[in-house]
Structure 1
Amino acid sequence: MDAGDVKMKDLKNSFVHLFRFLKDTMAYFRDVLLLHGFMLFVLLPLLTSLIKFILRQGHISYLSYDTIGIILRDHPGVLLSLLAVLLAIMIGVFFEFTFLLISVFFIKKNEPISLSQLLTGTLIQLKKLRVSTILFFLVYFLLVLPFGGLNFNSDLLAKVKIPAFLLDYLFANRVPIIAAAAGIYLILFYFSIRLIFALPEMILRDRRFAQAVKESWRTTKGWNFLRLFGQFVLIGGSVSLLSSLGYGVVIFLQSLIETHLATYALPSAVIAMTVMQFIFLATIVLSTVGIFYITVSFMDDLGLLVILPTWFKQSADEPKPVWSLGKVALFLVITLLFGIGVGSYNTNYLSNYSLKKPLTISHRGVSEGNGVQNSLAALAKTSQLQPAFVEMDVQETKDKQFVVMHDFHLKELTGIDKRPNQLTLKELEQLNVRESDQTEPVVSFDDYLTKAEQLDQPLLIEIKATPQDSPDMVDRFIQKYKDTILRHDYILHTLDFDVAAQLKEKVPAFFVGYVMPFNIVGPPVSNVDFFTMEHTTLNRNFIDAAHDDGKEVFAWTVNDEDTMTRMMFYGVDGIVTDNLSLLNHTIQQDLTDPTYSDKLFYFITGIG
């Protein structure tokens, strides 16, 4: 058989694997749901309560990067306890990974396995754990699986939040960081494929660490590398495509019913939402086991999984258990209760869940291009639209004053090839900003405050921090403007986490926000009062998590009616926009009148 025939056979096998993977969906449900249920409702609450108890014993209010030094220096008992919890989390994740890997292995081998035997096999692997294995697993989990094309989503680590100072560093160094991240991603992607079999080799074939790594490296080179990559793309893409099509068909059918059979709109919406929840559940199951299925299938094709584990006892000749009347009755009762619970929740969600009226916030002090950004003239015009806040930008000047300016470089707005902090305030006030065929002078923060006070217009002040700022910039800002800000209930936010933390620490009465261009893993650990989040990655999970932490969420920059309505449905506390008139109109028209189809769409897009 020549190389071309081999490649065609491999391509055919890829689609065969895809078909079998989707066909066996129901076989994965028991193990995945049992495990997710245990992690979510038993282990996670237990570990969360334990961490809170440990912190309370050390009189530490919260766990973040800025409390690590205190813990290291003053609380060795807390440190050891937290390390023990971290070890427990890693063991729990290893248990989760091993349990699912063994489960998929037996499904692929078409060998029925009882839950007790599955747990036995998993516990046997736990007994073999060594420090080196845990360290390798940590590297494998964090640096291999996320870049393999399908993620192993662990409930235990899904709650980990990225500290805000790391996000701040990324935002402040976007160009070099993005370039470096792209290079690192390609490297990690390559290693993720080459090392993908290492841990399964250790678990399914009892290989030692060095032997498992060597075997994985040997079997994933050349054409096998491309085959694995193709499998990830095919299965991952197919799962996403099928779920998207499923959601689309359900929403389309619901919209037809609302148009032609309005009397049945609510009952059909309840059914439609239930179907969408099932699709979402199936997507979670398939996404969770996808990484395992690809790995096991490929290893099986290579002849690496020819024998079953010695601890497994085949039960093919034993008669299948017959359900007694009691078991059938119990199953029916549980199903009925579950159906009633889901139906009640869905009915309540579709009938009573309304949109939340957000604060209206003008972006850079303009609306529909009614003036030059951050200018006094635009402030006067925009104030007539009565926004809850006008958002504007402040930077430090060369002579340690403060100027109203958004850009970190003056070239685009003024034609001057300098940064604002390279000129004095007097020099900056001699410049004109040109935008949308309009021209206005650069204005000092003092003059902007005076105009806002005259107009009785509340402000959302964004402090644009730069590496060239003076060390005492925050202190001087507070000293000069604290009374004015508090007297008029102005609020502040910034992209620089350190500045946000200082503002809140030095003046607790300030209402301070942290600006996040994107949502990675939920709200970061911080002491701020609110987050300002770029709307394209903002979802209901982030907002609910922030609200649970006692923090508000503002969405920026939202300029179309559909997104405004969706943000209100998610429950954002404020919307930053370039079009205040549209936002005001949307709030008046859409605040209490979304269709059931809209609610279904918001539901599915808001849980990601």
Structure 2
Amino acid sequence: MKNILTAIGQQTRAFQRHWLSYFSLFVSVDLVIQLIVIPLFRLATTVILQAAQIPFISYQNVVIIARHHPLVVVALLVELICLLLVVDLQFAAVLLGIRDISREMFTVRGLVREIWQTLRRLRPSSLLVLMVYFILVIPFADLVYRTPLLAKIQVPQFILDYLTRNGLLLTATVTFYIILTFLGLRLVWALPLMVYQRLRPRAAFRQSWQRTQGRRWLAVALRLLTIGFLAVLVMAAFYALVIGAQWLLDFLPQPVAALFANINLLIIQLGSELVTTWTGVVTVSLLFLPLTTTAPVTASPRLAAKGRRAFAGLILVVLVVVAAAGNGLYLSTSQHHRPVTISHRGVAEENGVQNTLPALKRTHRLHPDYVELDVHETKDQQFVVLHDENLKELAGVNKTPRQLTLKQLTRLTVHENGHQAKLASFTTYLRTADRLHQKLLVEIKPTPADSPGMVKRFVDRYGTDLIQHHALVHSLDYGVVEQLKRLEPRLPVMYIQPYNFTYPNTAANGYSMEYSTLTYDFITLAHLQGKRVYAWTVNEPAIMMQMMYKNADGIITDNLAELNRQIATYEDQRSYARQLLNYILVVPTNTEFAP
């Protein structure tokens, strides 16, 4: 450990000599990705889908797209290839830039020339290898350089929740991540070998595997963990200092406190990016720079130094302008609005059995804006309030709703959270909610066994009443969404999305989006089209606050009382220190310069 700390200290002193150049390199790559590359990819995807009149991409329609729109599949595959190339090139830019700066031979023109040479050496057969490589090294790539593109690749939280629901799935998930971590550590040298020694991917993989034989991969892991731990300590101390200063400044008159809040938020962003730069440079210098065997083709040291200063000045100006614009919006009280509160499955803090009348009545006392519930069709073409497609977990009956009549279903007793209750028909549930003046968010849950006229029958029976009581309807099945809007255009209908692939162009009035992939950009684009966005299922206080700062229109939760507390905190805009703390804890990663 002492040797590692000594080596980190040496690399830190080397970093100090050229910190501004390193900082400019990392920020410039991030800005290019955020301001140019990501918007271009999003625009390309939108143009491709709109040209083929495809409203969205999801697991529901991917087979249909492949079967009926082969040109769209080809175009999206080309886009995926371009994305892989961009990810490869941005890592190459960072690796080559660090090497050239450390040698005091960096120029923008020289870096661009070397990146172009790296691109020319790639072959079609290399792309699949690169895809596998980036999947394996994403956790370690975050330590070296948290690229905005790779940061968007994540497993939705509801899938992780499902995988950890029982012992077998949890064991399989943990085992998978252990194997992934081990392989990532063994192959962590592959890309630097491709960039510095111009090796082909397969040769780089073999050499990286050889370099980490025995217990040498543990040494790599220890160095990465040590650097990461030191970065966290530095960031924590830095954040505490800035937040403490703003807490004192909040006692000044509001305009002065607001001015300093904007300044301090910019300091937080610059400081975060500086620590990120230090982490990346020290890691690359410690692990990968010894691999360098080729000399960069650049200008003279004097010309290089002059170019670095001009480049750094330009990047700082762009960064400050971009960050300041976003910060002004973030700290402006006019941007803050209260999201509607939605009780998931009609329960709050486990106060009853989901989707039952006793839980509805108890939850209503907490004054949610909406109570969310689920509806299935029964054997006799009625509608029962129930989420699961099988009754075994709640009622101990291994049957589906479509196998029983409504009368049989409403005789069943369901158990959950230490409570028990009878299943309710949707007619009874709706009548009870109307009497309580409680608005509903109704999820229609279709199955392959449903009758052909299920949606029409639902609209004919309940459409007018739902409209009169300002209810909303949503569904995971886009076919249901389209039918609802066609049969009753006045009924507000939302499309449920479990993953944010791209911004869809649908007939829905809005979207219910799984929170872990829901972005500020998605919400902003939806608002520009007059569509609302609800986040589900948000149970943690920090995530609740994050969704509010992303301007989500509504939050679906199991913990309604906690959501009400977080909203009260959010609406208290007198404390800029609290807003800065929320930015650090819950607003996007430090590679983004605006919330």
TM-score by length of 2: 0.78
Mapping 1:91-130, distance limit 5 Å = 91-108=85-102, 110-130=103-123
Map of 1:390 onto structure 2: 371
Map of 1:4 onto structure 2: none
Structure 1 residue aligned with 2:127, among 125, 131, 134? Answer: 134
In structure 2, relative to structure 1, the CA distance for the partners of 1:147 and 1:579 (3 Å cut) is: closer
Partner Cα separation in structure 2 for residue 479 and residue 32 of structure 1: 56
Deviates more, 1:79-88 or 1:557-566: 557-566
- The alignment yields a C-alpha RMSD, in angstroms, of 4.5
Mapping 1:140-159, distance limit 5 Å = 140-146=133-139, 150=143, 152-155=145-148
Partner Cα separation in structure 2 for residue 447 and residue 525 of structure 1: 35
In structure 2, relative to structure 1, the CA distance for the partners of 1:376 and 1:334 (3 Å cut) is: closer
CA deviation map 1:66-95 (0-9, x unaligned): 665566555565555544444433333332
Mapping 1:296-311, distance limit 5 Å = 297-300=286-289, 304-305=291-292, 307-309=293-295
Secondary structure of the structure 1 residue equivalent to 2:199: coil
Q: Is the 8 A contact 2:495 2:512 kept in 1?
A: yes
Partner Cα separation in structure 2 for residue 77 and residue 389 of structure 1: 43
- CA drift of 1:473 comes to 2.4
Structure 1 residue aligned with 2:385, among 383, 388, 404? Answer: 404
Map of 2:205 onto structure 1: 213
Map of 1:198 onto structure 2: 190
- CA drift of 1:570 comes to 3.6
Q: Is the 8 A contact 1:147 1:188 kept in 2?
A: no
Partner Cα separation in structure 2 for residue 111 and residue 138 of structure 1: 33
Mapping 1:66-465, distance limit 5 Å = 72=66, 78=72, 80-108=74-102, 110-146=103-139, 150=143, 152-155=145-148, 175=165, 179-259=171-251, 264-283=256-275, 285-286=277-278, 289=280, 294-295=283-284, 297-300=286-289, 304-305=291-292, 307-309=293-295, 312=297, 315-316=300-301, 346-347=327-328, 349-366=330-347, 373-380=354-361, 382-383=363-364, 387-395=368-376, 402-406=383-387, 416=396, 418=398, 421=401, 425-433=406-414, 440-463=421-444
- CA drift of 1:217 comes to 1.3
Q: Is the 8 A contact 1:71 1:78 kept in 2?
A: yes
Q: Is the 8 A contact 1:149 1:233 kept in 2?
A: no
Q: Is the 8 A contact 2:143 2:228 kept in 1?
A: yes
Partner Cα separation in structure 2 for residue 8 and residue 385 of structure 1: 56
Secondary structure of the structure 2 residue equivalent to 1:196: coil
Structure 2 residue aligned with 1:37, among 18, 26, 31? Answer: 31
CA deviation map 1:214-266 (0-9, x unaligned): 22111111232011111221223333443343223212221122247777422
In structure 2, relative to structure 1, the CA distance for the partners of 1:32 and 1:387 (3 Å cut) is: closer
Q: Is the 8 A contact 2:250 2:257 kept in 1?
A: yes
Structure 2 residue aligned with 1:472, among 438, 443, 449? Answer: 449
In structure 2, relative to structure 1, the CA distance for the partners of 1:472 and 1:297 (3 Å cut) is: same
Secondary structure of the structure 2 residue equivalent to 1:361: strand
In structure 2, relative to structure 1, the CA distance for the partners of 1:504 and 1:37 (3 Å cut) is: same
Partner Cα separation in structure 1 for residue 143 and residue 569 of structure 2: 42
Amino acid at match of 2:480: L
Amino acid at match of 1:120: R
Q: Is the 8 A contact 2:441 2:472 kept in 1?
A: yes
Map of 2:482 onto structure 1: 505
Q: Is the 8 A contact 1:493 1:515 kept in 2?
A: no
- CA drift of 1:355 comes to 2.6
Amino acid at match of 2:224: F
- CA drift of 1:399 comes to 6.6
Deviates more, 1:261-270 or 1:203-212: 261-270
Partner Cα separation in structure 2 for residue 437 and residue 186 of structure 1: 36
State how many pairs are aligned.
Answer: 574
Amino acid at match of 1:447: T
Partner Cα separation in structure 1 for residue 566 and residue 367 of structure 2: 15
Q: Is the 8 A contact 1:367 1:579 kept in 2?
A: yes
In structure 2, relative to structure 1, the CA distance for the partners of 1:533 and 1:196 (3 Å cut) is: same
Q: Is the 8 A contact 1:389 1:459 kept in 2?
A: yes
- CA drift of 1:273 comes to 1.5
Amino acid at match of 2:484: V
Secondary structure of the structure 2 residue equivalent to 1:273: helix
Higher RCO (C-alpha 8 Å, min separation 6): 2
In structure 2, relative to structure 1, the CA distance for the partners of 1:548 and 1:210 (3 Å cut) is: same
Partner Cα separation in structure 2 for residue 81 and residue 535 of structure 1: 28
Partner Cα separation in structure 2 for residue 585 and residue 208 of structure 1: 56
TM-score by length of 1: 0.77
Map of 2:580 onto structure 1: 600
Partner Cα separation in structure 2 for residue 395 and residue 459 of structure 1: 16
CA deviation map 1:473-497 (0-9, x unaligned): 2745414322344321333345xx4
Partner Cα separation in structure 2 for residue 129 and residue 29 of structure 1: 28
CA deviation map 1:288-335 (0-9, x unaligned): x36xx535532455xx43x433x535735x588679xxx99x999997
Q: Is the 8 A contact 1:273 1:600 kept in 2?
A: yes
- CA drift of 1:137 comes to 2.0
CA deviation map 1:372-425 (0-9, x unaligned): 5433344356556654322223345677754334567767766x4656647654
Secondary structure of the structure 1 residue equivalent to 2:443: strand
In structure 2, relative to structure 1, the CA distance for the partners of 1:431 and 1:523 (3 Å cut) is: same
CA deviation map 1:488-542 (0-9, x unaligned): 1333345xx4xx22311332346134265xxx87778685654546768877566
* % identity of equivalent residues: 30
Q: Which consecutive unaligned segments of at least 5 residues does structure 2 have? A: 590-595
Q: Is the 8 A contact 1:410 1:420 kept in 2?
A: yes
Q: Is the 8 A contact 1:433 1:441 kept in 2?
A: yes
Map of 1:481 onto structure 2: 458
Secondary structure of the structure 2 residue equivalent to 1:113: coil
CA deviation map 1:104-128 (0-9, x unaligned): 22345x3432222222222222222
Q: Which protein has the larger Cα radius of gyration, Structure 1 or Structure 2? A: 1
Partner Cα separation in structure 2 for residue 542 and residue 74 of structure 1: 27
Secondary structure of the structure 1 residue equivalent to 2:429: helix
Mapping 1:526-545, distance limit 5 Å = 527=506, 529-532=509-512, 540=520, 543-544=523-524
Deviates more, 1:580-589 or 1:227-236: 580-589
Q: Is the 8 A contact 2:99 2:289 kept in 1?
A: no
In structure 2, relative to structure 1, the CA distance for the partners of 1:10 and 1:568 (3 Å cut) is: closer
Q: Is the 8 A contact 2:375 2:442 kept in 1?
A: yes
- CA drift of 1:270 comes to 2.3
Secondary structure of the structure 1 residue equivalent to 2:372: strand
Partner Cα separation in structure 2 for residue 452 and residue 146 of structure 1: 47
Q: Is the 8 A contact 1:411 1:417 kept in 2?
A: yes
Q: Is the 8 A contact 1:394 1:462 kept in 2?
A: yes
Map of 1:3 onto structure 2: none
Map of 1:575 onto structure 2: 555
In structure 2, relative to structure 1, the CA distance for the partners of 1:585 and 1:141 (3 Å cut) is: closer
Partner Cα separation in structure 2 for residue 73 and residue 535 of structure 1: 31
Amino acid at match of 1:137: L
In structure 2, relative to structure 1, the CA distance for the partners of 1:84 and 1:208 (3 Å cut) is: closer
- CA drift of 1:597 comes to 1.7
